[in-house]
Structure 1
């Protein structure tokens, strides 16, 4: 079962993924947690009693402090390599996974060698002596073979989701206007990458980011171009008070004025 954006927002009672700080998905029969590549600010995460086998999506959860993975299907301690960038991670519960093996001391030493910043492992306090001992008695873990380290240009979104990204919409609309004004298009890095909004949020988000696009354009315009925008804005404001038929004629006139400029 794949954990979806809608499920996360419902469980966390949040309006967007970036505001999710705590999430409990105990016993949800999960196998796919790829959604966490879009939840960077989560701090406490419970995924115990599921069927999760890969920790790769958690590599971008840099604010994570507590992670509960008891009784899952994590096959190898090499999966812990995905948690090494999480320097704030202090509590980890990994017991009853296949990766724990039968040698409990070797398992604990390897985990602590890989994640020496832990304060508690499997509900047992980690001591400084254990961390020092783990340097020699623990195994070195490497990234699991076949793990895709390449970052997607759409910030982890699928192509279908990226098509609904307000950032993409913002960029296309802005560059379309710039082209009409004879200006060079802006590159993708000028626009913030956003998680795909729900249908309900899409309309308000697009309005907000269209305004951002206009303001971004103004910063690059010279006096003559700003005068064109001022004239177009005045015509547009006047059009709101006109009869629908008159509004149509006004817009056609506005296009003619733009063409002349």
Structure 2
């Protein structure tokens, strides 16, 4: 069943699509939600218990804060790539879809890596520790082959387009955070070497890159006092890189002695 303009206006009790802010279409046997490309101001949307398989029509709903999609037919977590630009999205219920698989913990980390701004996933509060872990252990979600976003990517084979789409998104997000922190933005070449490691790179180097991404994301949530603590810890850490070998050796020995005394 296709969600029609008439049904949307009736359920939302609205006079036009632009004024629709909340909509509940629970259990309406929907398969086509393309109408949402015309509903940009929707904030709370319930689509649970339907037969929806694509989230592409939601890509332009930039005001969306809460999205309920439990018990649909979403086949792959790659569909989440359509939600990446929804920066106000804080609540997502995706459980009981084929894309969730059987490993609930890994599924959760992958979703949070793709959508790190979420505060609640599947009716469970998201913690800062989860976000940090997701940046390390969650899978990278790429754009579904053949999607509109993929077709608008740079020319090349589908595999290259998918990789470029993920790279472009991550580069924009990372540079936005670096700008907020007063840091210089990374060039595409530099970012590519950090965020798209080749098969020759070790698992350790990949983990370090993801850890850096997680740290930069979490800094946004710290207040002034907490940032000062991080600043002090960072300065102390940096000193170990500027000390000569003998001074460093003495510093390490002093620290070991202090640890024993405590």
Q: TM-score range, shorter-chain basis?
A: 0.5 to 0.7
- Cα deviation 1:65-106 (Å, max 9, x = unaligned): 000000000000000000000000000000000000001111
SS of residue paired to 1:45: strand
- Cα deviation 1:43-76 (Å, max 9, x = unaligned): 0000000000000000000000000000000000
For the pair shown, which has the larger CA radius of gyration, 1 or 2?
1
- Cα deviation 1:105-156 (Å, max 9, x = unaligned): 11000000000000000000000000000001100011101112379xxxxx
Matching residue of 1:147 = 147
Matching residue of 1:136 = 136
After superposition, the CA RMSD in angstroms is 1.0
SS of residue paired to 2:148: coil
> How many angstroms does 1:27 deviate by?
0.2
Matching residue of 1:24 = 24
What count of residue pairs does the alignment treat as equivalent?
Answer: 151
Matching residue of 1:34 = 34
C-alpha distance in structure 1 between counterparts of 2:32 and 2:21, whole Å:
20
C-alpha distance in structure 2 between counterparts of 1:90 and 1:71, whole Å:
19
* Matches for 1:127-206 after TM superposition, within 5 Å: 127-149=127-149
Matching residue of 1:110 = 110
C-alpha distance in structure 2 between counterparts of 1:43 and 1:148, whole Å:
23
> How many angstroms does 1:32 deviate by?
0.2
For normalisation by structure 2, the TM-score amounts to 0.57
SS of residue paired to 1:117: coil
C-alpha distance in structure 1 between counterparts of 2:138 and 2:62, whole Å:
24
C-alpha distance in structure 1 between counterparts of 2:130 and 2:113, whole Å:
9
1:51 partnered with 2:46: no
Matching residue of 1:70 = 70
The runs of 5 or more residues in structure 1 that have no matched partner are 152-261
C-alpha distance in structure 2 between counterparts of 1:36 and 1:100, whole Å:
24
Matching residue of 1:99 = 99
Dislocated runs of 4+, deviation >3 Å: none
C-alpha distance in structure 1 between counterparts of 2:108 and 2:21, whole Å:
28
C-alpha distance in structure 2 between counterparts of 1:53 and 1:47, whole Å:
11
Matching residue of 1:82 = 82
